[in-house]
């Protein structure tokens, strides 16, 4: 992690300077009311360095963002921007964009195809238990085993485990706000199953191919 940090910072400043020049180019064209498709695509390309070509991340701490609903991506990007959702990097990145631009970038990634993280390790037995726990505590909102984008709750199946784990920790610490009803279910889960319940769920999501 220590070794990666300077590289990540470098990437961030590279991305920031790239998006600044994109704005500059737009300014010269006397600011169109609606950004042209080409500019929106250019903005979206600045995400690829970290989130991978087509929004499919090489992981493990950077999530894939392809195939989520545009609504979900837009809301989360705005929450990063305002600081309502904790982040290491995304807060600084999202601040470089207007809400309108975030919505346009979200639209682009929502149309790409989510691809499960490849070859993640998981415990077969735990994954079986995790499936049951998911159906009991999570399926209502994260439909079809956490693969449905149109419920606007985020994709869980096949997402990088370290990212899911970090996100659940943020929710638990309150640095990203958990939806009230989800909080109730997670509390119930933790009371009955403890941390092992979370481990089982993570195994289940990692097991989905």
Q: Which residues bind ligand HEC (CB under 6 A)?
A: 8, 11-12, 15, 46-47, 49-51, 61-63, 65, 73, 75-77, 87-90, 93, 105, 137-138, 140-142, 153-154, 156, 164, 167-168, 179, 181-182, 185-186, 189, 201
**Closer residue to ligand HEC in complex, CB, 118/169:** 169
**Closer residue to ligand HEC in complex, CB, 21/88:** 88
Spatial contact of 204 and 130, defined as CB atoms under 8 Å apart: yes
Question: Which phi and psi angles does 176 have, rounded to 5°?
Answer: -130, 130
**Closer residue to ligand HEC in complex, CB, 125/188:** 188
Please give the Cα distance from 159 to 203 (Å, whole number): 11
Rounded to the nearest whole angstrom, what is the least distance from the CB of residue 55 to ligand HEC in the complex?
8
Please give the Cα distance from 23 to 40 (Å, whole number): 11
Rounded to the nearest whole angstrom, what is the least distance from the CB of residue 12 to ligand HEC in the complex?
5
Rounded to the nearest whole angstrom, what is the least distance from the CB of residue 9 to ligand HEC in the complex?
8
Rounded to the nearest whole angstrom, what is the least distance from the CB of residue 25 to ligand HEC in the complex?
17
Of the candidates 99, 103, 79, the residue with the CA atom closest to the CA atom of residue 91:
79
CA atoms in the 13 A half-sphere facing the CB of 13: 5
**Closer residue to ligand HEC in complex, CB, 26/75:** 75
Please give the Cα distance from 131 to 13 (Å, whole number): 41
Distant-in-sequence contacts of 38-42, Cβ < 8 A, 24+ apart: 40/101, 40/104, 40/105, 40/107, 40/108, 41/108
- 16's tokens: 């920031």
**Closer residue to ligand HEC in complex, CB, 30/100:** 100
Please give the Cα distance from 15 to 131 (Å, whole number): 39
Rounded to the nearest whole angstrom, what is the least distance from the CB of residue 90 to ligand HEC in the complex?
4
Rounded to the nearest whole angstrom, what is the least distance from the CB of residue 34 to ligand HEC in the complex?
18
**Closer residue to ligand HEC in complex, CB, 30/46:** 46
């Amino acid at each position: 992690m220590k070794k990666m940090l300077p590289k990540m910072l470098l990437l961030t400043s590279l991305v920031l300077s790239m998006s600044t020049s994109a704005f500059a180019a737009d300014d010269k064209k006397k600011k169109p009311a609606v950004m042209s498709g080409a500019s929106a695509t250019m903005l979206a390309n600045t995400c690829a360095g970290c989130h991978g070509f087509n929004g499919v991340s090489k992981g493990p701490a950077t999530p894939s963002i392809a195939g989520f609903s545009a609504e979900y991506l837009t809301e989360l990007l705005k929450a990063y921007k305002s600081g309502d959702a904790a982040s290491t990097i995304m807060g600084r990145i999202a601040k470089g964009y207007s809400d309108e631009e975030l919505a346009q970038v979200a639209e682009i990634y929502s149309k790409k195809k989510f691809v499960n993280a490849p070859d993640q390790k998981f415990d077969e037995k735990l994954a079986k238990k995790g499936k049951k726990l998911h159906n009991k505590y999570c399926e209502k909102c994260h439909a079809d085993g956490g693969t449905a984008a149109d419920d606007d709750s985020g994709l869980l199946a096949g997402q990088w485990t370290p990212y899911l784990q970090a996100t659940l920790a943020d929710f638990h610490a309150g640095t990203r706000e958990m939806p009230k009803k989800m909080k109730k279910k997670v509390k119930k889960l933790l009371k009955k199953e403890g941390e092992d319940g979370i481990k089982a769920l993570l195994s289940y999501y990692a097991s989905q191919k």
